[in-house]
Each structure stands twice: as structure tokens, then as C-alpha cells.
Amino acid sequence: MNKYNGAINECLQVIGEQTIEGDLSIVGIYEAEQADALIETTKEELLSEGWSFNSDSDWTLSPDTDNYIVVPPSALRVDPSDEKSNYIRKDGKLYNKDTRTYKFENSVDCDVVWNIEFDEIPSIMQKYIVLKAARLLYQRFVGDTDMLTILVRDEQEARTRVDMHEDDVNDYNIFDNPTVARALTRNSNPVGLRG
């Protein structure tokens, strides 16, 4: 689905407003502008959790000529890949909390969560974003509790589908867990454990 006007129209339908045809602009249409703003806010909130489609591990950030590492504006979250590093994003740059400086001599590998355009997000996540934004729009414009209950249920079901999709994409396996692997490969009962 595209954001203009597919996603916005779904939100408008939930509050009982007329949809926008074709490539018409939403400028000056209060409800459509509100739907657009809520879709964008909801998208950033949900994407900041970090998903397989918007996360990169060990993304190299390099210092510029002034030795500052400028964080890309589309990064929602930046965390050093090295767990011992105490760097944060501050004032649009990477900041070393241990040395209290913005200056870096070397590149830093980071785990980055990206903000991406709505139309580039997998459709299953788009649907979840739209359902959540539509529920929020409904709460603000209408507020009927009976319909709100239905919207909350639809949103929860969409979240479940997104989580299941993410599990499938990431190929999680219980046998990858070190504790389970130790129990499976052990050839004797450790001291102190009976059973």
C-alpha cells in the first residue's frame, strides 16, 4: 500500500470521513493531515524498536575532517557494536561518555536502526502501522468505546502477525540458545544436579 492515499484513506474510513481520490493533495484537509501525521509518528515509534528490515549490525561510522562522527539523520538508534564502548548520540554526533568528548580518532562500528520511508516498509508492517494510527485517530476524533475495542483487537492481531513474520525472517531456533545446547551436548550429569 502506498501512504498517499492508501494508508491515509484507511485511517479516514475508520473515522467515517470521505477518502481522497487519486493524486489529490491532502493539504488543507484537516483529517487527512492528522492521519498523515499520526502515520508518520507511529511509523517512527514502531521502527525504533528495530526490525530485520531496518537494522544493520556493525555499520561503520567514520570521523569527518574535524574528528566528529556525524550520525546519519535517518538513524533512529545508534549503539556501538562493542559492548564496552560507552558512546551515545548527542547533538547529532557520536559522543564518548567515558572521555566526555565528541572527538574520535578512529571509525566506530555501530548497530543502527534506520527510519525508512513508509512505502519501503514490508506490507505486513505497513498494515500494523496503519491500524495503530487509525486507532489513535479514532480515539482523538470519535472515541466510541465499543468501536475502540474492535480497533484495539485488530491492532493486537496485526502486532502478532508482525512478530510471527519477524520470527520467520530471522529463523530463530531454540537450539541456538547456549543453555539448551549445553544440556543437549552434555555427556555426564554435572555435580550437584540430580534428576
Could you report the per-residue pLDDT of 151-188, keeping only the tens digit for each? 999 999 999 999 998 888 876 666 666 666 566 666 65
Question: Nearest-5° angle of CA 152, CA 157, CA 158?
Answer: 95
- For 8-39, write each residue's pLDDT tens digit: 999 999 999 999 887 778 899 999 999 999 99
SS3 label, residue 26: coil
Cα distance between residue 108 and residue 101, in whole Å: 14
State the cell numbers at 6. Answer: 492508501
Q: How confident is the model at residue 193 (pLDDT cuts 50, 70, 90)?
A: low
**Nearest-CA neighbor of 12 among 145, 123, 4?**
4
166: amino acid identity, one letter = E
Q: Write down the domain spans for the chain.
A: 3-49+118-169, 55-114
Q: Which residue has the cell 520470527?
A: 167
Cα distance between residue 195 and residue 184, in whole Å: 15
Task: Please give the pLDDT value at position 22.
Answer: 76
61: amino acid identity, one letter = L
Residue 195 has pLDDT above 60, yes or no: no
Task: Please give the pLDDT value at position 38.
Answer: 96
Task: Please give the pLDDT value at position 11.
Answer: 94
Cα distance between residue 99 and residue 103, in whole Å: 9
First to last CA, the chain: 55
- For 104-152, write each residue's pLDDT tens digit: 999 999 999 999 999 999 999 999 999 999 999 999 999 888 888 899 9
